[in-house]
């Protein structure tokens, strides 16, 4: 039997907080649900209690949600963070600091369940025997577009871009929007060769043709589908993965 997740709801509006606590408590994946009425209370609670996930409002008096998230990132074993907010303006920043998901108020039960599912994947320990095997999760992405369903193969995706509450997947034929978080894709696609290039971008190493410096955009990873910005923070890891890929290809010849 899978262990249940411990969740903490951080929300200054009492009615919203109580509603979210009740919705979480009704999900089978969730065990205990704690609550805090602000950022300061959440930080104090997290100093003594351990949680798997924190459902965090952004606009709060005192310490706001972004500040709380940065504090949590410094913990030795930080919980997964799901932002719950009325505005979509902070989505890129939220995923940039590692949020598992970003929910807009009023929260729909199906979206909350989806977010909890992502937290479960992030908290699930990787099987030791299969760590070097290619990841099969989301090897084909199913995208609903009106009355049509489009199936996009992961190997055709050259880079992924955070786009509000969605991720835009770029291929040679065009792009597709899907309601997933960039952090979730990074988690399940790392073994398939996807690397964080920027807080808002993942790039497939196999599709990077070269790196170049632009006077206006800085370092760019160039793919046939377009150029991907590379932040200073992620440039070293990307270069190491590209070098390893070239060495691996050379050794196979």
Per-residue pLDDT, 1: 43
pLDDT of the residue at 130: 39
Residues of the chain with CATH 2.40.50.1020: 135-252
CATH class of the structural domain 135-252 = mainly beta
Return the pLDDT at 127: 46
> pLDDT band at 175, cuts 50/70/90?
very high
pLDDT range class, residue 142, cuts 50, 70, 90: confident
| Average pLDDT rounded to a whole number, residues 27-32 | 92
Q: What pLDDT score was predicted for residue 98?
A: 76
Q: Is the pLDDT of residue 132 over 80?
A: no
Asked whether residue 248 carries a pLDDT value surpassing 70, the answer given is no
Higher pLDDT, 251 or 218: 218
Is-above-0.85 flag for pTM?
Answer: no
Please state which of the four CATH numbers 3.30.390.30, 3.30.70.1350, 1.20.140.10, 3.40.50.2300 is assigned to the domain occupying 5-123.
3.40.50.2300
Q: Given this model, what pLDDT does residue 155 score?
A: 93
Predicted local distance difference test score (pLDDT) of residue 125: 58
Cβ atoms 158, 225 nearer than 8 A: yes
Domain with CATH 3.40.50.2300 in the chain: 5-123
């Amino acid at each position: 039997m899978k262990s249940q997740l411990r969740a903490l709801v951080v929300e200054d509006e009492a009615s919203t907080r109580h509603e979210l606590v009740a919705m979480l408590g009704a999900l089978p994946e969730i065990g205990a649900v704690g609550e805090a009425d602000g950022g300061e209370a959440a930080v104090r609670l997290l100093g003594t209690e351990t949680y798997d996930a924190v459902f965090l409002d952004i606009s709060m008096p005192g310490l706001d949600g972004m500040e709380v998230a940065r504090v949590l990132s410094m913990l030795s074993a930080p919980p997964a963070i799901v932002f719950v907010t009325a505005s979509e303006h902070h989505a890129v920043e939220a995923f940039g600091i590692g949020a598992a998901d970003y929910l807009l108020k009023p929260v729909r039960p199906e979206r909350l369940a989806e977010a909890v599912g992502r937290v479960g994947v992030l908290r699930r320990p990787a099987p030791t025997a299969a760590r070097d095997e290619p990841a099969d999760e989301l090897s084909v992405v199913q995208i609903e577009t009106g009355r049509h369903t489009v199936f996009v193969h992961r190997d055709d995706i050259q880079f992924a871009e955070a786009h509000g509450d969605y991720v835009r997947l770029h291929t040679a034929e065009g792009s597709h929007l899907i309601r997933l978080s960039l952090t979730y894709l990074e988690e399940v696609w790392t073994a398939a060769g996807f690397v964080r290039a920027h807080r808002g971008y993942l790039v497939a190493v196999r599709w990077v043709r070269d790196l170049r410096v632009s006077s206006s955009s800085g370092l760019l990873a160039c793919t046939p589908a377009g150029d991907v910005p590379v932040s200073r923070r992620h440039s070293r890891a990307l270069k190491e993965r590209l070098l390893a890929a070239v060495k691996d290809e050379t050794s196979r010849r």
